[in-house]
Structure 1
């Protein structure tokens, strides 16, 4: 199995959200809510606009490349028979995963120039080895890998996202798993991680009429696992929150009023040169896109 061409570079929690870079403008399409785009608007409406509406390319980072390769290795690992999913075999998958990612992305060789690919391979293998301390991939078969999930709340609130892994137990109970190549959040930042999990849980509920028994974030950098067990009433309340958020985005889209918000994540932002908070000027507002969503535009959220 392989990471689809449409999947942008994975986020690294320690480095802040980074998205796929490109030398050419990305075709505009009607925006949808994903965990990352929802978080963008809450954090800084201008950041949301420049990413989701203007589609201004952002350069990838080494951390993002590393995260994408780790995800490719773990996906390939589950493509093997269970008894072959040994740690050494996982380590052997790294060069092939790198070559596939490299072939699908332009301009990433420069990101690994210092130390060469072998230095990157060592970083990836360390993270993959950490995975074995948290789960044993030989003991279960995943139901789905890198699964695209879509839902429309109330008929006009489009949700989109990619789920790293979906497991179904023999008794039918469902578990959603998302890998993170960064470090686990501290108590002050757990709310964002839980926001992402609730987002996935709500999409599963609306598409399968199943409340997941467990949602799990696996943080490979510091070998921590964050779990969440949702209930239907809580997800119904969360739907109302997302609906209100989408209404606010649509209102901003109609007027073009996406104000910047200075916050702690500004130091990771690639849009400083266009931000009034840092002396920049945004480009003219291009208007709210009217085209239908395109399948290739959406990331596998906060990989």
Structure 2
């Protein structure tokens, strides 16, 4: 997509006489807001997800969220005036079929104990809520599901996917993120705002302009959270991101992925592997730390 920066590590050409195609460019070590939050929540969880790449079964709620996001993306393919609640609901079935073709494992979450009619009705209700918060016929997004990436000097590549980018006639940028859950209680917005500030930092480096508005659209309870960032705030965000990355590098070098028990442990897919609950983590796969983080552990 336009106006993104994707730094890749150079690949040496194959030596004369070598057979087969040259290896694909390797993705550089990077950090997304989700993985940054993983490390802040629990360094061991970060290791399981990023270094070990342990599989995690998706939840019915997460799959429903993915479906709703896909419908909202496709909704804007229709011309203004045709973006109606009925049109959005009509997209649910074809988008679900497309998801199953691309990710057949999504069907596994809809086990026999899941009421399919209720599950799809909940997706439809979330879409109906969207129309009470915005009129999509008055909007023309500049980008949807935009992959963004920028390389921090002496740091990781920052990357992620922005649900929607709106650009006003005067060039002002609004970053929009859809959430299918409920809005955070007052005083607990910091996690969500960190994600949006992270995206604002990346977009500001790509577009050479601080976004004018960060907007979180919570479909679970019909709430819209808006925030106006500034340059000083994004500098603070960059310092925080660098501090998180420094912690990750130190943990990788020392091989010290300490678990951090907390209220979210009950939802962790790897609880049986966690020493805090009597489990034993698997050995780190050889070369995995170097491959995923670009760090050589100390012997």
TM-score (norm 1): 0.84
Query: Displacement, 1:49?
Result: 0.4
Mapping for residues 30-69 of structure 1, pairs under 5 Å: 31-69=29-67
Taking the aligned partners of 1:267 and 1:198, their CA distance within structure 2 comes to 28
Query: Displacement, 1:197?
Result: 0.9
SS at match of 1:63: helix
| 1:120 equivalent in alignment to 2:119 | yes
In structure 1, the residue matched to 2:196 is: 197
Taking the aligned partners of 1:144 and 1:151, their CA distance within structure 2 comes to 17
TM-score (norm 2): 0.85
In structure 1, the residue matched to 2:89 is: 91
* Larger RCO, structure (CA 8 Å, separation 6 or more): 1
Taking the aligned partners of 1:31 and 1:264, their CA distance within structure 2 comes to 29
Q: Which runs of 5+ in 1 are unaligned?
A: 1-27, 294-303
Check 1:292–1:260 CA distance in 2 against 1; reply closer, same or farther (3 A cut): closer
> C-alpha offsets along residues 243-282 of structure 1, whole Å, 9 cap, x if unaligned?
1111111111112111000011111110101101111000
Taking the aligned partners of 1:270 and 1:115, their CA distance within structure 2 comes to 20
Query: Displacement, 1:155?
Result: 4.3
Query: Displacement, 1:29?
Result: 6.5
Taking the aligned partners of 1:107 and 1:231, their CA distance within structure 2 comes to 41
Taking the aligned partners of 1:110 and 1:43, their CA distance within structure 2 comes to 28
| 1:172 equivalent in alignment to 2:171 | yes
Check 1:238–1:110 CA distance in 2 against 1; reply closer, same or farther (3 A cut): closer
Give the superposed CA RMSD.
1.7
Query: Displacement, 1:32?
Result: 1.6
In structure 2, the residue matched to 1:261 is: 260
Mapping for residues 1-303 of structure 1, pairs under 5 Å: 31-112=29-110, 113-114=112-113, 117-286=116-285, 287-291=287-291
> C-alpha offsets along residues 22-43 of structure 1, whole Å, 9 cap, x if unaligned?
xxxxxx9654211110001011
- Count how many residue pairs are aligned between Structure 1 and Structure 2: 266
Q: Which runs of 5+ in 2 are unaligned?
A: 1-25, 294-299
Query: Displacement, 1:228?
Result: 1.0
The structure with the largest alpha-carbon Rg is 2
